[in-house]
A and B are shown apart, each in its own frame.
Chain A
Amino acid sequence: MDFTTLTLTNVTRTFGRRRALNQVSLEADAGQLTAVLGPNGSGKSTLLSIVATLLSPTSGDVKYGAHDGRAGSALRRRIGLLGHDLYIYPELSPAENLRFFAKAYRLTDVERRVDEALDRAGLTDRRDDAVAGFSRGMRQRLAVERALLHEPRLVLLDEPFTGLDDAATRTLRERLAGLRAAGCIVLLATHDLETVDGLVDRAVVLHNGRLGEVAGGSTPLRERYRVAVNHQIAKSPNPPIAR
């Protein structure tokens, strides 16, 4: 299955009495990089988990082109997720981690893909060392390659720049630009506003579970983000409670 749009319509998710997402609607197209911004606890990770089919919305719809989350494993094969936790096995080597996920995604030519991914992550010379001994930046580079190994259509990245040095950040920016050129739908939750400024096509802000648009323009993204957050605070000053 394939799709070129992601559409969220009035998505609400509650945890007990706390409403993590409140009537969120969002549309993203193929070849578009969308930054999801917002303070800690604003619902960014919940939003990505719902889009990744790991969480069900309490109400509202998520559509992947013409399909919904019930498309099951065929849909999951088209989604790549990098979480805040890196989803890699520290006891295994980078090559073993990538090989495991390549087989889980039923990829062909596994060894070539693993070699290429290790090369992109700059971990070829550490391919057989246990990940447990790696720095955060090295793990992050590996985790990015793990998430993109199966060439997903929908790429969900939660804080992908965490722990990366300047060179790795530059490489990841280039990789993200490559994903846009390849026609991927990319949702990127981040606090690194300076890093994604000029890279993303569009930015939205989540505050207290409500989604707002960050205006486009030539002013720095941080400035536009501040304006958008203030606007959101004015609209809904208190965290929403489910009734």
Chain B
Amino acid sequence: MTFVRDVWLVTRKDLLIEARSKEILYTTVFFAVACVVVFAFGFVREGRPVADAAAGILWIAIAFSGTLALGRAFERERQTETLRALMIAPIERPALYLGKLLGILILLAIVEAVIVPLVGLMYQAPLFAHATLMLGLLLSGTIGFAAVGTLFAAMLVRARSRDVLLPVLLYPITIPVIIAGVRGTASLLQADVDEPMARAWLAMLAFFDVVFVTLALWTFEPVMTD
């Protein structure tokens, strides 16, 4: 119970700070929307989108804006050195990790709430036709991406070239998650919907989530100890 309370304490604090500054929310939403709109000029011809473009662009927008949010969430703790205060507090390291992860997930959920309808509109993609499966893909894909991202962002917080290193390290590791997200989404958007295939990709995403979250919980403590 204490563990859950600590997780929520960290998440609530991050959300409260974000609610005051709105810095990450505005920049990530703007970046994701810009991504979707700019790609629309290339992938929508005479009102018809290129096949599978919507799925790819949706996940590219999530990955890019997620990277932005991840970097900034830890940069804020670095600037004020409050990460040291968190590290010395009697909060278990896994609770600290999950608290930060949950904060990022809530922020990305807000970003997705904006860009999913936008992608649906601009690419004529029936993203809400299989809402439950689509929600499952988005949720599990975002967890997989953010689980690795939160660990790497924490790991790089004291690195000099952290802004460059985060995407360089993050994308190769999370490529399977992004591919599974894109293929799962594409199988729901194609002319004859392939639900079994979408479920298979969803299962794969759930598997990645378990692996990535377990590895991150296991490695967070040694990674954060200097």
**Chain A residues near B (Cβ < 8 Å):** 52-56, 73-74, 76-77, 79, 81, 83, 85-92, 96, 100-101, 103-106, 130, 146
Instruction: Give Cα A76–Cα B16 distance, bound, in whole angstroms.
Output: 25
Q: Is the CB of A103 within 8 A of B9?
A: yes
- Answer whether residue B90 sits at the interface, using C-beta atoms and an 8 A cutoff: yes
Enumerate chain B residues within 8 angstroms of A54, measured Cβ to Cβ.
84, 87-88, 226
Dominant SS among interface residues on chain A = loop
Q: Is the CB of A56 within 8 A of B225?
A: yes
Enumerate chain A residues within 8 angstroms of B60, measured Cβ to Cβ.
none
Enumerate chain A residues within 8 angstroms of B88, measured Cβ to Cβ.
52-54, 76, 79, 81
Q: Is the CB of B90 within 8 A of A87?
A: no
Q: Is the CB of B92 within 8 A of A92?
A: no
Q: Is the CB of B85 within 8 A of A87?
A: yes
Q: Is the CB of B16 within 8 A of A106?
A: no
- Answer whether residue B161 sits at the interface, using C-beta atoms and an 8 A cutoff: no
Number of interface residues of B (CB under 8 A): 23
Q: Is the CB of B90 within 8 A of A106?
A: yes
Enumerate chain A residues within 8 angstroms of B17, measured Cβ to Cβ.
89, 91-92
> Which residue from B21, B80, B85, B92 sits with its C-beta under 8 Å from A101?
B85
Enumerate chain B residues within 8 angstroms of A77, measured Cβ to Cβ.
90
Nearest Cβ on chain A to B143's Cβ, whole angstroms: 25
Enumerate chain A residues within 8 angstroms of B9, measured Cβ to Cβ.
100, 103-104
- Answer whether residue B81 sits at the interface, using C-beta atoms and an 8 A cutoff: yes
User: Which of chain A's residues has its CB closest to B5's CB?
Assistant: A103
User: Which of chain B's residues has its CB closest to A93's CB?
Assistant: B20
Nearest Cβ on chain A to B96's Cβ, whole angstroms: 10
From 79 to 110 in chain B, residues with beta carbon under 8 angstroms from any chain A beta carbon are: 80-82, 84-92
